[in-house]
Amino acid sequence: MQLNPYPGLFIAVEGMDGAGKETQAINICLWLKQRGFVVVKTQEPWQGLGSKTYEQLDRIVYKKIEKRSSEEIQYIFIDNRREHLKQEIEPNLAAGIAEVTERYAFSTVAYGAATSNKPMQTFLDKQQNFLFPDLTLILDLSVEVAIDRLPLERHLFERKDVLSKVRNNYLTLAGMFSTAGMRVINANQPPAEVFREIVNYLELVISLKREHMLKGI
């Protein structure tokens, strides 16, 4: 994956279903706006105008009226992400607008390897030309807590056995990319405590981003 060359700040909030990604993505946007940033909150799968892949994912994953293998599903997620980057994320970042996304490339890696016979590297390789966020926050919590927060009717990606593998995959990714702005946040805490931990990394990434922009990096 490629470092973000644009002036806009790019933040991804990752983690298992039930980790509180939406809550923290909203908190991040509000915090950035209070500090003068123009911010767009987005999420994946991307439902933007003209997306040819979202309807496909909706039929397969959520409405369950079309069947595909787990591996094929992840490749559709990747195609959806490509649309997302080209049609929304990259143009906004180029214009200096901050983008905060709920889920991004690493969800495909974590869930893809957990639900198929492919290793994580396969899904990383498929996204090698995508942007690496300036900051990736992995909201980590126990599988038991995640399950308690989920609705009773669950899809493939919300089964306990799958979530256990997903959590391990996320933690492995955090170790692989610890020097590339990927941070693990303890999401077992109350939301306010989780956000207090996140703010430390927001302040750091803003400082680094400004320093890089001044240097023309």
pLDDT in tens, 105-116: 999 999 999 999
* Residue among 159, 165, 203, 145 nearest 18 (CA): 145
Range of the domain at 73: 2-215
Task: Select, from the ranges 54-68, 83-97, 154-168, the one with the highest average predicted confidence (pLDDT).
Answer: 83-97
Q: Taking a C-beta distance cutoff of 8 angstroms, is the pair 150, 158 a contact? A: yes
Beta strand 98-102 with 39-43 is parallel
d(CA 111, CA 120): 9
Say whether pLDDT at 71 is over 80.
yes
CATH number of the domain within which 22 lies = 3.40.50.300
Q: At which residue do the structure tokens 């974590």 appear?
A: 110
Give all strands (DSSP E) within 5-87, no chain letters.
Answer: 10-15, 39-43
Element at 198 (helix H, strand E) = helix 191-215
Q: How confident is the model at residue 214 (pLDDT cuts 50, 70, 90)?
A: confident
- Domain total in the chain: 1
Q: Please compute the mean of the pLDDT values over residues 203-209 and round it to a whole number.
A: 94
> Any residues with CB less than 8 A from the CB of 72 and at least 6 apart, and which?
none
**What Å distances lie between residue 128 and 1, 65, 133, CA to CA?**
4, 31, 13
Q: Which pLDDT does position 161 carry in this prediction?
A: 86
Give all strands (DSSP E) within the chain, no chain letters.
Answer: 2-3, 10-15, 39-43, 98-102, 131-132, 135-140, 182-186
Q: How confident is the model at residue 152 (pLDDT cuts 50, 70, 90)?
A: low
d(CA 140, CA 150): 15
Q: How confident is the model at residue 48 (pLDDT cuts 50, 70, 90)?
A: confident
